[in-house]
Chain A
Amino acid sequence: MFTYTIYTESEGGQMIKRSDGWFIPFDPANTDYQEYLEWLAEGNTPEPAE
């Protein structure tokens, strides 16, 4: 089971960083993002932003 962190870059953009090292965009068509949404729907919350 993965965990997730919200990664914020210097210009303010954000990506989701999965515990296996993958960076996931906030793109509804991206299946990794869809899995992240399912993970949230299960009541999980991402780690604090880096």
Chain B
Amino acid sequence: MSTIKTNAILDASGGNTTTINGTTPTAYNTMGKNLIINGDFEIAQRSSSTSTSTGYQTVDRWKWENNTTDGSWGQAAISTNSGFRKCLRVTTNSTKTPSGSTYAGLLQNIEGYTTNPLYLGTSSAKSFTLSFWVRSTKTGTYSISIKNSNATRVYVTEYSINSASTWEYKTITIAGSTDGSWDTTNGIGLGICWWLAGQGAQTSSTNTWLTSNANMSSNQVNLFDTTSATWDITGVQLEVGSVATEFERRPYPVEKKLCERYYQKHISNTAYHRFTTGVCGSSTAVEIPFRYSVEMRTTPSGTFSGNFRARHATASALSSMAFSAYMNEWGTMITGTMSGGTAGFACNLDSNNDTSAYIALSAEL
């Protein structure tokens, strides 16, 4: 083993294309290169079970866009693909024939702060590359759409699944849009959707930026033409540049915190978990400050599930709970109704003999 001490490594022509294990390190392909969050589908705070409902239901950051078909979707374990342990699986539950404005697809909306390195809508817009692993029982041509927040800049592209039930690695490079309006703060910077069926907003103009809404290519297959068909995806990465590099494997706690900017679930896991501490405002009212685990994208929506109690000298089940209007992206106040409290006394907010009680907050895009 030897040691190299140097101030610069250049390629043989004096340029900056020296590679390490096939990749040239740049500011964009080191830590944080993947603009997709939870691209390996490891994190499923809401549920690791499948769902048939639309919206955000299972794996973090991924949304099921579906107005017609009958399918279930969610995290699935895999053991045979490039070191990935999980994928997102869609399974058709009945046969459907898309018509009219129907669609079904898997969407991730990326926040404007995250897409800023793409310089979209400027003359400095950068090319970016999408890469992913996919397999399906249904071969054929599938579509991906990439949109700004109001769908006035839309790029539809295609990929093919060539062999049934076989993992295939896909890479697609897209020249960044040099015009249009693109969110650069906490709104939708870029929405990417993998379409599985539908006729809504089809286009034959692929691989170019459009100025009106489109979803999918006119060549889009119908995954839902049979029951029990499956479509799996994992290892999703979107990075600056025209080369697809190895999937960025961020540490689990880092990826989890990235997810928690959009959704966080505080679970009791023990019968009388102490969530936090507040104060009795009277014999019946408690006020409990609650700090989020990370700053959220915007002021979140919130919900409670299960049984809770307030406890100081004695414990009292909370007969009602609410989130205060005086909340922001950092924290909130939880109010509750108890009995036997003493004004001015501190009290804990506990789960009440409920190992599955939780507090959830959502600031999804």
Contact = CB atoms under 8 A, between A and B. Distances in A.
A13 B298 contact: no
Which of B301, B304, B335: most chain A CB closer than 10 A? B301
Contacts of A26: 325
Interface string A1-41: 00000010111011101101111111101111100000000
Contacts of B365: 31
Interface in B323-365: 323-327, 335, 362-365
A30 to B, nearest CB: 6
B186 A31 contact: no
B302 interface: yes
Nearest to A25: B299
Contact of A32 (B187, B304, B362): B362
A30 B322 contact: no
Given A9-B335, A27-B298, A32-B362, A14 B303 contact: no
Which of B186, B299, B327: most chain A CB closer than 10 A? B299
Given A29-B186, A31-B364, A31-B365, A9 B322 contact: yes
Given A30-B363, A31-B365, A13 B325 contact: yes
Interface residues of B, number: 23
Interface residues of A, number: 22
B228 to A, nearest CB: 30
Contacts, number: 55
Contact of B302 (A10, A23, A29, A33): A23
B303 A23 contact: yes
B285 A10 contact: yes
A29 B299 contact: yes
Contacts of A22: 301-303, 362
A10 B333 CA distance: 13
A4 to B, nearest CB: 12
A7 B322 contact: yes
Which of A10, A17, A22: most chain B CB closer than 10 A? A22
B297 interface: yes
Contacts of B241: none
Nearest to B188: A31
Contact of A23 (B285, B323, B363): B323
A47 B186 CA distance: 31
Given A27-B299, A32-B301, A9 B325 contact: yes
A25 B303 contact: no
14 contacts: A9-B335, A10-B335, A13-B325, A15-B324, A20-B303, A21-B303, A22-B301, A23-B301, A23-B322, A24-B301, A25-B300, A25-B301, A25-B327, A31-B364
Given A9-B335, A21-B303, A30-B363, 20 more contacts: A7-B322, A9-B325, A10-B285, A10-B335, A11-B326, A15-B323, A17-B322, A20-B303, A21-B304, A22-B302, A23-B322, A23-B323, A25-B299, A25-B325, A27-B298, A29-B297, A29-B298, A30-B300, A30-B301, A32-B362
Pairs A-B, 4 closest by C-beta atoms: A13-B325, A29-B298, A23-B323, A27-B299
